[in-house]
Structure 1
Amino acid sequence: MYPQPIQKAGRFANISYRVALPISIVLWLLPLIAVLMTSIRSIQDINAGNYWGWPTHIQLWQNYSQVFTSTRMGQYLLNSLIITIPAVIGAVVLSTLAGFALSKYRFRGKTLIFAVFIAGNFVPFQILMIPVRNITIALGLYDTYWALIIFHIAFQSGFCTLFMRNFMVGIPDALIEAARVEGVSEWNIFRHVVVPLVRPALAALSVLVFTFIWNDYFWALVLVQSDDVRPVTAGLSSLQGQWLASWQLMSAGAIIAAIPPVILFFTMQRHFIAGLTLGATKG
């Protein structure tokens, strides 16, 4: 039994839905609105306790420019790009190869390997903090870009492989068999047959993984300690002073940090939606 569309539900359900939906949206947007409003307030306004009212003095240009002139926000953004882009490429490439093998090849231990990928998604990443930190120190990777890049590739590969494998299962085996009959190598089958068919899924997965890695805060604190390597999520915490928190700068920095994932999503929106709905209908 599938959920019934709201249009076909009863009168009470329709009224409840129309009332609850805007209330839920407003409640969800309240923190975002508060951060946005705080980012254009003056420090005097914040100290006076004006948290939700309209700012007495709007400091749009002053606050956002001060984030770059008074802090290392530019370096933090660059660090996030240096970490996120290679990690996304590595995770997506490895998971696409693994997904192809798990979906279209028969070999001993295939089910066990797939089960390991699935089980890895259920492991709380917090319990890996001490082992991962010790490994990075032993390998000389602690407080470097590679510590976060390698870890994110390893940690995201389980989810990405599950994602890609489920999409590749829907590719007709007849296409691959026809290519093999024509003498096409396995690598060329992967490149010229499989990858073009799952391009929407690759776009959707890239957007998701980019958002996950860009917004990571926990591992940025565990594996990095210097400003030269620190990504923007951890860099925002450094804007908080020892005696006084510059909430207007922290809010402006948070808005700036959220811009790249938002731009990527709207740029890839058509492919993202197509990837999520790929295979959802027959025909």
Structure 2
Amino acid sequence: MTAMNRQARRRAWATAGFHAGAGALSLLWLVPIALVLVTSTRSFDDIAANGLGSLPHSFTLGGFHQAWVDGGQGRALLNSLIVSIPTVLLSLALASMAAFGLARYDLPFRRTLLLVMLGGNLLPPQILLIPVSKISEALGLYDSLYALIGVQVGFGVGFYVFVLHGFMRSIPPEIQQAAVIDGAGPWQIYRRIIMPLTTPALAALGALSFTWIFNDLLWAITVLRTDTKMPITASLIGLQGQFVSMWNVIAAGSVIAAAPTVVVFLRFQRHFVAGLNLGAVK
């Protein structure tokens, strides 16, 4: 009994240590977020008089109004949504069709094609900035949201195909064979059988891709020039230059920029976790 008590005591201490460490890491992660939220609701006079790290002595939403109207965050947020939503839908549609063909049919050089798609994502984006800029100029798309959508689709499809290919290959072939016997063609198999079974993977990829595209800065400043066409991330840089030391406005702009990705993650959290668990099992 003594040995069992010692073992139980060690387990209790180990559990307590784990929870204490996890709690400390969570607190370390949440403190900056809480600081930004509190700062965004303080007035400029409060911050100037008491300091940025002091306890708040005011509460106002004026910083959000200044960021949204005077800082152009409303327009920039709309630009980001115009780019992100079509890009996610188009990328997942193209990637799912390509992954379906590579995973469910014995196509020639399919492994080579898959490796080429994946290899494109291994290139550092910095070495492609000038070529992408020159190509967009040659095509007459430079400084337009169409150029940014095209770049995001082109650089995302390869990775999405690689991920969806693994999910689709794990679907039992007997399901597809039964559908063929019933007279279903490739399009019907793809739309009515494979796509519903791949919903967790699509939801997980959709949430991730929306976050990546919405938060992208590099490609935005590469193919765009006009301030009114800039997405929310590039607009934050201009916001900091415009309001300089008005930290409440800058913090409010950061909250506005982060809100859509938080909403998307919370909306697809169940599918996102299911997709990760399915991928871990397979």
One-letter identity of the residue aligned with 1:141: L
CA distance in 2 between partners of 1:10 and 1:124 (Å): 46
Residues 1:21 and 2:22 aligned together: yes
Is contact 1:239–1:245 with CA below 8 Å preserved after alignment? no
CA distance in 2 between partners of 1:188 and 1:161 (Å): 20
Give the secondary-structure state (helix, strand or coil) at the position aligned to 1:238.
helix
1:116-168 Cα offsets, whole Å, 9 max, x none, are 12222322212211111111111111110111100000111121111111110
What residue in structure 1 maps to residue 48 of structure 2? 47
Q: Map 1:204-223; keep pairs closer than 5 Å.
A: 204-223=204-223
- Given the superposition, is the C-alpha separation of residues 111 and 34 from structure 1 closer, same or farther in structure 2, using an over 3 Å criterion? same
1:229-275 Cα offsets, whole Å, 9 max, x none, are 11111111111236834321111011011111111221222222222
Residues 1:102 and 2:102 aligned together: yes
User: TM-score, structure 2 length as denominator?
Assistant: 0.90
Q: Shift of residue 278 of structure 1?
A: 2.3
What residue in structure 1 maps to residue 3 of structure 2? none
CA distance in 1 between partners of 2:177 and 2:243 (Å): 68
CA distance in 2 between partners of 1:164 and 1:244 (Å): 45
CA distance in 1 between partners of 2:32 and 2:159 (Å): 29
CA distance in 1 between partners of 2:165 and 2:215 (Å): 25
1:90-116 Cα offsets, whole Å, 9 max, x none, are 110111011111211112211111111
CA distance in 1 between partners of 2:244 and 2:162 (Å): 46
Q: Shift of residue 279 of structure 1?
A: 5.7
CA distance in 2 between partners of 1:241 and 1:262 (Å): 26
What residue in structure 2 maps to residue 182 of structure 1? 182
Residues 1:158 and 2:162 aligned together: no
What residue in structure 1 maps to residue 262 of structure 2? 262
Is contact 2:164–2:201 with CA below 8 Å preserved after alignment? yes
CA distance in 1 between partners of 2:211 and 2:279 (Å): 24
User: TM-score, structure 1 length as denominator?
Assistant: 0.90
Give the secondary-structure state (helix, strand or coil) at the position aligned to 1:99.
helix
CA distance in 1 between partners of 2:82 and 2:243 (Å): 32
Q: Shift of residue 12 of structure 1?
A: 5.6
1:1-28 Cα offsets, whole Å, 9 max, x none, are xxxxxx9x85664343222111111111
Give the secondary-structure state (helix, strand or coil) at the position aligned to 1:41.
coil
Q: Map 1:109-148; keep pairs closer than 5 Å.
A: 109-148=109-148
Is contact 2:64–2:252 with CA below 8 Å preserved after alignment? yes
CA distance in 1 between partners of 2:13 and 2:118 (Å): 41
What residue in structure 1 maps to residue 4 of structure 2? none
Is contact 1:204–1:273 with CA below 8 Å preserved after alignment? yes
One-letter identity of the residue aligned with 1:97: M
CA distance in 1 between partners of 2:242 and 2:78 (Å): 25
Q: Shift of residue 206 of structure 1?
A: 0.8
Is contact 2:43–2:62 with CA below 8 Å preserved after alignment? no
What residue in structure 2 maps to residue 171 of structure 1? 171
What residue in structure 1 maps to residue 198 of structure 2? 198
Structure 1 unmatched ranges of 5 or more: 1-6
CA distance in 2 between partners of 1:49 and 1:124 (Å): 44
Q: Shift of residue 188 of structure 1?
A: 1.1
One-letter identity of the residue aligned with 2:44: I
Judging by fraction of residues, say which structure has more helix.
2
What residue in structure 2 maps to residue 35 of structure 1? 36
CA distance in 1 between partners of 2:146 and 2:281 (Å): 41
Structure 2 unmatched ranges of 5 or more: 1-7
What residue in structure 2 maps to residue 58 of structure 1? 59
RMSD: 2.2
- Given the superposition, is the C-alpha separation of residues 280 and 237 from structure 1 closer, same or farther in structure 2, using an over 3 Å criterion? closer
